[in-house]
């Protein structure tokens, strides 16, 4: 079966239609009846200036930023419609849709859609279960509605990749020991999930390396393929089930007095790479992620996350196997000062082909600095200015006749209206 | 007991046993209030705007409040049978003009007391002649108070 067929399966479009109907009925219903439902609409417009010799990956290039020199001027950052609310006493639904106006398959598409069950705690152990499509608890930056970073426009390389290729389409269960309710200073959460429809996970990291931007891949979207070997296969799609195997993650989080937080997660999609019959072969991707967030006096936040893992794949001809190791980390400092927020972040990104570089060697060694300033005029208007500079090498650029080493710079001014 | 910027306000509410307490929600987002403390178990399903009917705290004890959506929200209803009670002010002072001569037990409590803080129960003898005064000193630093979360867009993924 080719990947286009997946979108023609009965059910997928029905989900979208139902989701749209839920959204429409909530918006149309009289205000009193929807008191507990929350509808968030955001329009994010950007002024963009880019200094880079490379075309953006969104155009099929090997640039690591969302925009390239051809995009200078006004751009759509994101149109976001997020609807959430209760279903009965202990269930909640969340539906996040967004559009990025960059030629993706649907003008508005789903980034998350899930049902969340939170029974009331009857003792210090509180349980929570989710089913649907949602983000694994990895990012410590993407804390705002729509999985947006609170600290900058573009999240770190690690969380950029999560937004691009990772989505839990399955079920997750978590339990939190509510220490504060028994006179302790800390909460402990344990989480585990089983999921499918994430078999191509790793292909973008293999082709393009780590990037830094805020474009989240929607569930039914696509990106242009950077290395086209087959003229019938010019796109990358991320959320498919190919090998009929279920992946998992397990994680833990500890929070002290709400000011210190440490999060760890082990992820393995258990992909069966030997099934090379699919249009997009399965990638076996596994990693460990570790992060900490510290809230200091004067509204200063320190954040760091690291990730270490590998991804394995087999080319469509079934011959040979690649193994790409990857790691990345970042450190971020941010201060909120009244309506102002100032953020600086350093990112370090690395990939290397350990085995089977038969087409090209996937190898990246790069550093990035991000400086951001945000101004919240009121609850509806936010202005943000962000500069990103990525410098480093990406070996596979040579395969396309480009210089492996490059410096890319991007300046963005965002005007965000939220209601 | 209000909910403002994802905090219970006040952080500690002392009430006499049998008092009915309302739980308005001044935030623009919905909260789901619960307690599983032995002296009062209750749940208020997800709501914003209009509050539920008041909750009667009919047994003495410390009732820890939580929000099932926002784990960092925590508040306390201190339910007591004591003839006189109250909250200290910014300077840590509390005055009562209602007590006559006699022997009294004074108990000081805060959810922010260090776990190893020695007992803060004291005795005081009051006479009609002059006002009594009692100073209680903490031997350990208080734990930090929860911070407000003013950004309603935060969902904590």
Report ipTM (2 d.p.).
0.83
Nearest residue in chain B measured CA to CA from A378: B151
Q: Count CA atoms closer than 13 A to A253's CA, side-chain side.
A: 24
Q: How far is A208 from A374, CA to CA, in rounded Å?
A: 29
Q: Which residue has the tokens 């479009």?
A: A13
pTM of the model: 0.88
Residue A218 confidence (pLDDT) above 70? yes
Give the pLDDT mean for A222-230. 90
* Distance (Å) from the alpha carbon of A120 to chain B's nearest alpha carbon: 7
Among B47, B111, B144, the residue with its CB nearest the CB of A259 is: B144
* Distance (Å) from the alpha carbon of A289 to chain B's nearest alpha carbon: 15
Residue A9 confidence (pLDDT) above 50? no
- Is A137 in contact with B154 (Cβ distance < 8 A)? no
Q: Give Cα separations from A229 to A61, A233, A395, B129 (angstroms).
A: 15, 8, 18, 99
Give the tens place of pLDDT for each residue, A146-178.
999 999 999 999 999 999 999 999 999 999 999
The alpha carbon dihedral of B79, B80, B86, B89 has a sign of negative
Give the tens place of pLDDT for each residue, A379-414.
899 999 999 999 999 999 999 999 999 999 999 999
* Distance (Å) from the alpha carbon of B150 to chain A's nearest alpha carbon: 10
Among A90, A123, A295, the residue with its CB nearest the CB of B36 is: A123
Q: Is A325 exposed, middle or buried (0-12, 13-18, 19+ CB in 10 A)?
A: middle
Cβ neighbours of A257 in B, within 8 Å? 143-144
- Is A258 in contact with B69 (Cβ distance < 8 A)? no
Give the tens place of pLDDT for each residue, A287-312.
999 999 999 999 999 999 999 999 99
Nearest residue in chain A measured CA to CA from B110: A183
Helix (H, G, I), strand (E, B) or coil at A293: strand
* Distance (Å) from the alpha carbon of A86 to chain B's nearest alpha carbon: 7
Residue A18 confidence (pLDDT) above 50? no
> Which residue, A416, A380, A367, A386, is CA-closest to A151?
A386
Q: Give pairs for A17-26: CB < 8 Å, separation 24+.
A: A19/A95, A19/A97, A19/A110, A19/A113, A22/A83, A22/A93, A22/A95, A23/A81, A23/A83, A23/A95, A23/A97, A26/A83, A26/A85
- Is B46 in contact with A120 (Cβ distance < 8 A)? no
Q: Bridge-partner residues for B56, per DSSP?
A: B20
Among B48, B144, B152, the residue with its CB nearest the CB of A35 is: B48
Probe site for chain B from A112, A162, A181, A374 (most B CB atoms < 10 A): A181
Q: How far is A32 from A20, CA to CA, in rounded Å?
A: 21
Radius of gyration of chain A from Cα atoms?
A: 21
> Which residue, B147, B17, B150, B153, is CA-closest to B72?
B147
- Is A36 in contact with B29 (Cβ distance < 8 A)? no
Give the tens place of pLDDT for each residue, B92-132.
999 988 888 889 999 999 999 988 888 899 999 888 877 78
* Distance (Å) from the alpha carbon of A248 to chain B's nearest alpha carbon: 18
- Is A121 in contact with B64 (Cβ distance < 8 A)? no
- Is B74 in contact with A418 (Cβ distance < 8 A)? no
pLDDT at A59: 94
For chain B, helix (H) and strand (E) counts, in that order, are 0, 11
The alpha carbon dihedral of B56, B73, A80, A200 has a sign of negative
Q: How far is A223 from A204, CA to CA, in rounded Å?
A: 9
Domains detected in chain A: 3-418 (2.40.160.10)
Contacts of A402 (CB under 8 A, 6+ apart): A53, A54, A62
- Is A181 in contact with B36 (Cβ distance < 8 A)? yes
| Structural domain spans, chain B | 2-80, 84-140
pLDDT band with cut points at 50, 70 and 90 for residue A35: low
Among B37, B50, B71, the residue with its CB nearest the CB of A187 is: B71
* Distance (Å) from the alpha carbon of B27 to chain A's nearest alpha carbon: 12
Cβ neighbours of A418 in B, within 8 Å? 153
- Is B68 in contact with A183 (Cβ distance < 8 A)? no
- Is A143 in contact with B156 (Cβ distance < 8 A)? yes
Taking CB atoms and an 8 Å cut-off, how many pairs form between chains A and B?
88
pLDDT at A89: 81
Q: Bridge-partner residues for A127, per DSSP?
A: A175
Residue A83 confidence (pLDDT) above 60? yes
* Distance (Å) from the alpha carbon of A91 to chain B's nearest alpha carbon: 10
The alpha carbon dihedral of B94, B99, B101, B107 has a sign of negative
Nearest residue in chain A measured CA to CA from B67: A120
Among B30, B146, B147, the residue with its CB nearest the CB of A36 is: B30
**Most confident of the following: A28-32, A36-40, A75-79:** A75-79
Cβ neighbours of A137 in B, within 8 Å? 157
- Is B146 in contact with A36 (Cβ distance < 8 A)? no
- Between B157 and A23, name the one with better pLDDT: B157
Cβ neighbours of B156 in A, within 8 Å? 143
**Is B2-80 a domain of CATH 3.20.20.70?**
no
Lookup: tokens for A318: 């079934």
- Is B47 in contact with A35 (Cβ distance < 8 A)? yes
Q: Which helix (H) or strand (E) covers residue A6, if one does?
A: helix A3-8
Among A89, A147, A150, the residue with its CB nearest the CB of B45 is: A89
Residue A28 confidence (pLDDT) above 60? no
């Amino acid at each position: 079966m080719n990947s286009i067929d997946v979108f023609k399966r009965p059910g997928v479009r029905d989900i979208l239609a139902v989701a749209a109907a839920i959204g429409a009925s909530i918006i149309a219903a009289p205000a009193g009846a929807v008191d507990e439902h929350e509808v968030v609409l955001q329009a994010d417009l950007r002024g963009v200036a880019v200094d880079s010799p490379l075309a953006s990956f969104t155009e099929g290039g090997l640039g690591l930023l969302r925009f390239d020199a051809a995009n200078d001027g006004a751009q759509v950052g994101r149109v976001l419609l997020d609807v959430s609310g209760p279903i009965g006493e202990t269930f909640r639904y969340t539906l996040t849709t967004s559009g990025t106006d960059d030629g993706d398959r649907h003008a508005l598409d789903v980034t998350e859609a899930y049902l969340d069950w939170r029974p009331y705690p009857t003792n210090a152990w509180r349980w929570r279960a989710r089913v649907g499509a949602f983000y694994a608890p990895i990012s410590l930056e993407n804390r705002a509605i729509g999985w947006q970073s609170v600290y900058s426009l573009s999240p770190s390389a690690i969380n950029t990749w999560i937004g691009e290729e990772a989505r839990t389409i399955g079920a997750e269960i978590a339990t939190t020991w509510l220490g504060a309710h028994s006179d302790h200073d800390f909460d402990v959460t344990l989480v585990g999930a089983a999921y499918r429809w994430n078999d191509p996970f790793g292909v973008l990291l293999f082709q393009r390396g780590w990037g830094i931007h805020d474009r989240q891949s929607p569930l039914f979207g696509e990106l242009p393929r950077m290395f086209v070997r087959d003229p019938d296969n010019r796109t990358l799609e991320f959320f498919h089930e190919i090998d009929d195997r279920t992946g998992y993650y397990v994680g833990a989080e500890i929070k002290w007095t709400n000011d210190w937080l440490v999060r760890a997660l082990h992820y393995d999609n258990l992909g069966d790479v030997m099934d090379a019959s699919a249009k997009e072969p399965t990638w076996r991707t596994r990693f460990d992620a570790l992060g900490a967030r510290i809230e200091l006096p004067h509204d200063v936040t320190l954040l760091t996350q690291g990730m270490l893992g590998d991804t394995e794949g087999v080319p469509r001809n079934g011959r040979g196997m690649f193994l790409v190791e990857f790691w990345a980390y970042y450190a971020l400092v941010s201060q909120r000062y009244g309506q102002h927020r100032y953020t600086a972040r350093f990112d370090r990104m690395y990939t290397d082909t350990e085995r089977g570089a038969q087409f090209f060697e996937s190898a990246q060694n790069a550093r990035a600095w991000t400086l951001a300033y945000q101004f919240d005029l009121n609850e509806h208007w936010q202005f943000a200015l962000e500069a990103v500079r990525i410098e480093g090498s990406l070996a596979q650029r040579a395969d396309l006749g480009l210089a492996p080493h490059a410096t890319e710079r991007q300046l963005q001014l965002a005007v965000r209206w939220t209601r | 007991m209000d909910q403002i910027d994802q905090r219970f306000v006040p952080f500690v509410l002392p009430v006499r046993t049998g008092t009915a307490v309302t739980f308005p929600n001044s935030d623009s987002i919905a909260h789901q209030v619960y307690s599983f403390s032995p002296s009062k178990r209750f749940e208020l399903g997800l709501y914003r705007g209009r509050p539920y009917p008041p909750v009667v705290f009919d047994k003495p004890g410390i009732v820890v409040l939580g929000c099932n959506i926002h784990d960092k929200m925590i508040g306390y209803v201190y339910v007591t049978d004591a003839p006189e009670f109250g909250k200290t002010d910014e300077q840590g002072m509390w005055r009562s003009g209602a007590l006559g001569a006699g022997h009294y037990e004074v108990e000081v409590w805060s959810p922010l007391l260090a776990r190893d803080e020695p007992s803060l129960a004291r005795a005081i003898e009051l006479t009609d002649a002059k006002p009594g005064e009692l100073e209680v000193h903490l031997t350990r630093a208080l734990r930090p108070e929860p911070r407000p979360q003013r950004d309603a867009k935060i969902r904590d993924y």
